[in-house]
Amino acid sequence: MTENLNRGGKSAGRGGDAGDAPSLAMLMGFAAMPAALSEKMIGAQFRAVDRMVVLRIALGLISIAFVLILYWDNAPLWLLGLWSVTSLVSIVPPLRAFLSRRACNYEGLPRNQLWLHAVGMVLQGMLWAGPMLLLAPHGGVLQVASLWTMTTCLLAAVAMGFHATPLAACLFLTVAGGASVSMMLRGGSEELAITVASFSLLMLLATLRQARQFGRQITTDRQLAEKRETVSLLLGEHDDARNDWLWQIDTARRLVGVTSAFARIAGTDAAAIEGKSLLELLAGPAWESGQFDPALHTLAAKIKGREAFANLILPVEVKGARRWWELSASPRLDEHGAFLGFRGVGADVTTQRETEERFTQLARFDQLTQLPNRLHLTEALEQAVEAMTRWNTRSAFLMIDLDRFKSVNDTLGHHIGDRLLAQVAERLRAVCGSMAFCGRLGGDEFAVLIPEIRDATEIEQLSAGIIEHLSQPYEVEHHTLFVGASIGSATGPRDGGTADELIRSADLAMYRAKEEGGGRHFAYITSLHVEAEERRKMEIALRGAIENDELRLEYQPVVHSQSGDLDGFEALLRWHHADFGEVPPSKFLRIAEEARLITALDSWVLKTACEEAVRWPVVLGLSVNLSPELLWDADLIPALEQLLQRTGLDPARLELEVTETVFTRDGAEAVRKLEQVAALGIGLSLDDFGTGYSSLGCLARTRFRTIKIDRSFVAGAAEGQEEHVAILNALIALANSLGIETTAEGVETEREVELVRRVGCTRLQGYYLGRSMRVEDVRRLFARNSRPNAA
Ligand code: C2E
Ligand code: CA
Ligand code: CA
């Protein structure tokens, strides 16, 4: 837009020197004017002339009266009468011409109008010459002097009033001037004749000069008007849809030259705000209260400092609605560099601003829960960290992960899962209140920021509150759902000096809280970092474990409950690493799962265990743990077929142990996969029964050959926990009726053996019956006992 302004200004400047002003010949109608010019020019010429019409008539009448009085006594009456009547009649044609010009509003006047007008003036000149030539001889010196005085008035009046039509004016001056000269000559005064001639010539020259000036003036005006039109078109002042405008203030910051576009956008009319203070207009109702937007302060400071500014966005109130204006301006200076005020542009950017706000809302808030999202949380944390370093305060970051959410989502669907998350968010918001800033990181992970902690117990209290509230049952579409929460917290600057470090520390603490079984809060400790580092190294080491021959299998005996005879073995994976030593399976299997190494490990276990089992007496079974990942492997079924074929192992001897977590991803697909496994003749066993979320439901989904009852259940029942005993009884009765075997896991004491035997478990496994054995020991066992009988 500034470019447009410049262009407008430059052209107007060029218009000022009127390089294309009409020549005298054009003004006289002898040469054609450029079309664009002629249209306006001839009209303007006549307008200028016609402004004098009343004066002209008055002057004519006065002149007639004057002549009549002057020569009433000296001249013959008929001559006076004839002259007066002719003079009076001669007023009529110019008057009619005047009326017709006015009727057509001075538009489309042809060039010959100038000539006709000139002819009229010549006739008028001649009429005025009449008394000087015809009547002067009848009078004396007084009359001549009076007549000449009157003539000079007329000459001057024509020179002044008719310069716009120079042809007419000059002809009149020539005729009337010529007549005066001749009157003086006839009166015998050559000196006076020369004086009169000089005066007439002077008037003539003045007329021509004025005429040119007039031509120039009209041209400039026209060009300026055109420029104004162009600028206003460019600024879209005629376009109601445009939302930008030009504005200007004087040294006292008052608006000057308010455009219609500006007024329209300000919701008023130009006259109402012309001369009003810009700041007052922008401040609106706040002007009284003095509660200005910071942007208005910036604007005031810029104006005060006479500094240019660009794209300053400020809120304004237009007809009670909040709008956003963007202003840019620079100081106005005159040619001497004196400050005149400011000139600039403005634009209503409300729509853009609202769109931006909507995008910000989308970009910074989680749409499901309406809580701040990861980006927003991170920003808030960054601010807290900044404040922390500046003011030497402490802030805390809590990471919350829901326990068992995944199984809700997987069993009941995402729709229910989403509604559950929304309720979780609501509760979280309520618990945090105004003391903490909470948000959702994604999935079932939430976070809370306490920007400034005053007291060390604050984190512990808030965590306890969150866990307690989030663990209450939820009602979602007639389902009663239970989820828990695990929280990890980090306190800055102790646990991290940057947002990233704090997030990482809180994450590690949360990981630990989960590892400890969930439903609890764990504050970051330095060793977690060490552990995380160890996990990372372990992961690298684990990748090479198979090739480096660091893995081995141990076999834990499973015996018949009643007879105590050996039924088979469960293959359990062991990892020995040169640096880490013997790593417990709970630890390395978790790492393997996270690093997606578990499928390779499980395949290795399956292969190794099957190869081993064919050496055993054929009555013994082999149980192998199968991770959900391997079940999902597309090659599992062909690999199993191939393995059975290659080793010659009877599939009936093989049992694959899965936990209910296999159903959590895609239940129907899991069932299909398990059925394919069963179709090979391989038995399926449901491992860790009693630890999960809805284990009984699993039994209905596919035909398990065995249920392995988790150690915690067995121990609980043996300790006399009533409901454990009851459930155990019911479960075993159910399993027996369905023809499903039951294995009690982790049997450690005689008492436990007694109990599980009594309730009717078909098989037992546990330290009391035998720990897992090295493969050599198993082999030795069979070498010693031709008829195996372990118990
Ligand atoms: P699991 O399938 O429930 O295996 C039984 C676990 O209980 C074994 O622990 C075993 O040593 C332990 N155990 C047996 N009897 C007793 C007892 O009387 N008291 C106690 N306290 N524990 C007993 P382990 O070998 O540490 O294995 C832990 C888990 O690791 C296994 O639990 C299984 O889920 C997984 N796992 C082991 N090997 C493999 C494998 O080759 N592949 C897969 N995917 N998972 C495996
Ligand atoms: Ca197992
Ligand atoms: Ca188990």
Ligand 1: nearest atom to the Cα of 584? 26
Q: What are phi and psi of 394, to 5 degrees?
A: -125, 145
Residue bearing the bigger pLDDT, 556 or 412: 556
Check whether 284 has a pLDDT greater than 90: no
Least confident piece of the model among 12-16, 328-332, 593-597: 12-16
Could you tell me the two tokens for 314? 């400020």
Contact predicate 56/165, CB 8 Å = no
Q: What is the rounded average pLDDT of the residues 180-186?
A: 87
Q: What is the rounded average pLDDT of the residues 314-321?
A: 90
Contact predicate 683/656, CB 8 Å = yes
How far is Cα 713 from Cα 723, in angstroms, rounded to an integer? 10
707 CA to middle of ligand 3, Å? 10
* pTM of the full structure: 0.53
Q: Which ligand is nearest to the CA of 584?
A: 1
How many C-beta atoms lie closer than 10 Å to residue 182's C-beta?
16
Could you tell me the two tokens for 24? 């005298």
pLDDT tens-place string over residues 638-665: 999 999 999 999 999 999 999 888 887 6
Nearest CA to ligand 1 atom 46: 625
Ligand 1: nearest atom to the Cα of 767? 18
Check whether 572 has a pLDDT greater than 90: yes
What Cα–Cα distance (Å) separates residue 175 from each residue in 90, 93, 178, 184, 197? Answer: 16, 19, 5, 14, 11
269 CA to middle of ligand 1, Å? 85
Could you tell me the two tokens for 556? 């834990």
What Cα–Cα distance (Å) separates residue 120 from each residue in 93, 285, 602? Answer: 8, 66, 120
Q: Which ligand is nearest to the CA of 571?
A: 1
DSSP for 504-515 reads: HHHHHHHHHHHH
Residue 232 pLDDT level (bands cut at 50, 70, 90): low
Could you tell me the two tokens for 479? 């389902």
Check whether 240 has a pLDDT greater than 90: no
How many C-beta atoms lie closer than 10 Å to residue 68's C-beta?
16
624 CA to middle of ligand 2, Å? 7
- State which of 551, 572, 749 you would mutate to test the pocket of ligand 1, scoring each by most atoms of that ligand within 8 A of its C-beta: 572
pLDDT at 624: 98
Peptide bond into 493 cis (omega under 30): yes
Burial (CB count <10 Å: 0-12, 13-18, 19+), residue 112? exposed
pLDDT at 10: 37
What torsion do the CA atoms of 26, 32, 38, 39 make, to the nearest 10 degrees? 150
Contacts of 483 by beta carbon, 8 Å cutoff, 6+ apart: 402, 403, 404, 405, 408, 420, 424, 444, 470, 471, 474
Residue 565 pLDDT level (bands cut at 50, 70, 90): very high
Residue bearing the bigger pLDDT, 490 or 222: 490
Q: DSSP code of 651?
A: G
Q: Any residues with Cβ below 6 Å from ligand 1, and which?
A: 556, 572-573, 584-586, 589, 602, 605, 625, 627, 657, 687-688, 711, 745-748, 765-767, 772
- State which of 605, 625, 632 you would mutate to test the pocket of ligand 1, scoring each by most atoms of that ligand within 8 A of its C-beta: 625
Q: Which ligand is nearest to the CA of 772?
A: 1
How far is Cα 700 from Cα 667, in angstroms, rounded to an integer? 12
Nearest CA to ligand 1 atom 6: 746
Q: DSSP code of 623?
A: E
731 CA to middle of ligand 2, Å? 19
How far is Cα 707 from Cα 686, in angstroms, rounded to an integer? 5
Could you tell me the two tokens for 789? 């009988």
Could you tell me the two tokens for 667? 């239940």
Label each residue of 544-588 as H, E or C: CCCCCCCEEEEEEEEEECCCCCEEEEEEEEEEEECCCEEECHHHH
What Cα–Cα distance (Å) separates residue 267 from each residue in 254, 292, 319, 406, 509? Answer: 18, 20, 6, 56, 59
Residue 461 pLDDT level (bands cut at 50, 70, 90): very high
How far is Cα 140 from Cα 129, in angstroms, rounded to an integer? 17
**Side chain identity at 730, as an amino acid letter?**
A
CB crowding 347-375: b at 16 or more within 10 Å, else e: bbbbeebeeeeeeeeeebbbeebebbbbe
Q: Label the pairing between strands 521-523 and 484-492.
A: parallel
Handedness of CA 179, 184, 185, 191 (dihedral sign): negative
